[in-house]
Structure 1
Amino acid sequence: MSVIEQEQMSVFGQNAIAPEEPAEGEAPIDQSADVSPEPAPETASTEEYDRGYEQGLEEAAKADDAWVANLIKIYSQNTPESMPETMKGRLDAFLYEQQRRAQSVPEMPENVPNPTENSVSDAEIAPETVSSVENGQQTALSRIPLNEQGEPRFEAVDKDTAWDGLVEAVGVRLMLLT
C-alpha cells in the first residue's frame, strides 16, 4: 500500500476506497508516464487588435454617422470566430465612436436661441408689489416683503401666504416666458 492509501485508511477507516487493481488481461497503468497536456489554443494577438482599434478610431473620426453605421452592419455579419483580430478591433472602435456620438450633445448654431438661456432679465421677471388688485384685495405676493435685491422673502411670512405668493410668482414667470 502506498503512503497515500495508508493515510486514506487511517482517516476514513473502513470507508476508504480501496485502490483499483487492474482487471485480468489489463496492463497496469504506468503512473510515471509523461502525459503531455493538449496544446493550448493559439491566443489572440492583442497587438493586432490594438492596431485595428486605432485604425478604426482614425477612420471613424473622418467619417459621417451613416458610413460608420453601414460599416458596423457589414462587420457584424461575420461571426467573431471568423474575424481576424484587426477586424475585431476596428469593429469595436466603430461601435465606440457610434455610441460616443449618440451620447454627445449636438452644438446649436449661433442664430438659434438656446432654450436654457433666458432672454428676459431677472429684473423684468421680478414680481411687482401691488398694493391692491382691481377689486381692492391684496395678492399673496404683494403681502410678502422684499429684500434689498427686490426678491420676495418668503420666510418672513406665514407658510400659507408664502406658498400662495410662490405659486403667484411662478405663474407670472411662466406667463412672461411664453
Structure 2
Amino acid sequence: MPRDRQPLREHGFRVVTMVIGMVVGLAAVFFVLPAITGRENRGPFWAYGLGFAVAIVIGGGALVLGLAIGQRIVGDRIEAAVREPGEKWRHGRFTVTPTGVTFERYRWQMRIPSGKKTEFTGVRLGPDTGRRPPWRQLWTINPQLHIVTLDSEQGRYEVAAMPSRLQEFDRRLGEPQLDPR
C-alpha cells in the first residue's frame, strides 16, 4: 500500500507551540532564574545572546529530528480524535480492517495505547467542510484539525484529524478489502 505522507504545513501548529515553549524556557533559564536566585554578577550580555542562539540552533535541529522520528513512528496510521457529539475528545488511531474500523485510544496523547479497542461497522465519513475545533478547546485539541461526521452502525460520532489523514481514511474505506482467508 503506498504511504501517503502528511504535508509539512499540517505540522505548523505543533512546530509553533514547540518553538514558543523553547523560547519561554530559554528566557526563564537565561534571564528569570538568575534574577530569582539573586546572582547580581551575571556576566556580559553578549554571552547570554550567544548561549541563547546556540540553544535555538540545537533546539531547532532537535525539532526537525523529532518531526522526522514522529513521522516514522506514526507511519501510515490514521491518527485522529473521536467523540460522540458534545462529549470529550478521545485521541488515538484508526485501523481499517476487512470487518470494519477499529479505534485504539492513546494514553495522554502520547501514542501509548490505552484501554480496549472500539469496533465500528458500516462506517461512512461525512464530507470535509473545513469545520474546525473552537479556539477555547486549544488545550485539548489542535485547532488545525478538521471535524467530520462518522456514521456507523454503533451511532454517530465526530472525527477530528488533519485533512491528509481524513483523505487517507476515506480512501481506505473505499478500497475493496481482501478476504484474509
Question: Normalising to structure 2: TM-score of the pair?
Answer: 0.20
Choose between structure 1 and 2 for higher RCO, CA contacts under 8 A separated by at least 6 residues: 2
User: Normalized per residue, which structure has more helix?
Assistant: 1
Normalised to the residue count of structure 1, the TM-score between the two structures is 0.21
Larger proportion of strand: 2
* Larger Cα-atom Rg: 1
